[in-house]
Amino acid sequence: MKDIIDKIKAELALRADESVMQSGLRFFKEDVKILGVKSAEVKHLAKSFYKEVKSYSKKEIFSLCETLLKSGIIEESFIACHWSYNLKDKYLPDDFEVFQRWVENYVTNWATCDTLCNHTVGDFLIAYPEFVQRLKSWAKSNNRWMRRASCVSLIIPAKNGLFLDDIFEISDLLMQDEEDLVRKGYGWMLKSACEKHEDEVFSYIIKNKSIMPRTALRYAIEKMPLERKKAAMGK
């Protein structure tokens, strides 16, 4: 399987562009490893190389994903996330421990966090809703990426109207988090919940607006009608 990893690294290196790398770095406050490969090309490589591994067992593909994630290189992480999501029809309850290990040990930036959690973890939770309770321990973690993951994992389920009580509970846990990216994360989660439960989310925001940081509040109300935005932002 090492041959596949080596080929991926070689293809990414061929496509690396200094100007793309410098442009990408502007989106991160933390130090990140970026090769400078355009996202469309990364997606193409992910699809192309998946054809070579799709006959492998899920365990073998997850092992390859973990190797790619360990590198810390954003482009390699995106390929890992693409592959793990491709296996969504084969997810089993035990896979939660795999995904938790990945978030805890290999996620070091918002882009990898969101790509992995929006899709891989989000679809897992739709299939196995009993694991939503485990996100509440993520929300209490000292690891800021675990805390962001606790809410961005619920973006897709929230858009489908799922887990509203859990969304509010996680928002409560993260309400005054010190990290800006965590505040944006739960604000985004609340905004997503608005698609099916705007009235309930608006009531939650009004109840908590005196203690909710402005960053989270602005994200949460972004798609609400103007009058509701004014009410939420007013004193």
Burial of 164 (0-12, 13-18, 19+ CB in 10 A): middle
Let me know if the fold of 1-90 is the same as that of 107-235: yes
The per-residue pLDDT for range 77-102, each reduced to its tens digit, is 999 999 999 999 999 999 999 999 99
pLDDT in tens, the chain (235 residues): 779 999 999 999 999 999 999 999 999 988 899 999 999 999 999 999 999 999 999 999 999 999 999 999 999 999 999 999 999 999 999 999 999 999 999 999 999 999 999 999 999 999 999 999 999 999 999 999 999 999 999 999 999 999 999 999 999 999 999 999 999 999 999 999 999 999 999 999 999 999 999 999 999 999 999 999 999 998 7
Q: Please, what is the end-to-end C-alpha distance for the chain in angstroms?
A: 59
| Residues whose CB falls within 8 Å of the CB of residue 40, separated by 6 or more in sequence, listed in order | none
Could you tell me the fold of the domain covering 107-235?
Leucine-rich Repeat Variant (1.25.10)
Cβ-contact 174, 142 below 8 angstroms: no
The per-residue pLDDT for range 21-52, each reduced to its tens digit, is 999 999 998 889 999 999 999 999 999 999 99
Q: Where do the structural domains in the chain lie, given as residue ranges?
A: 1-90, 107-235
- Per CATH, the number for 1-90 is 1.25.10.90
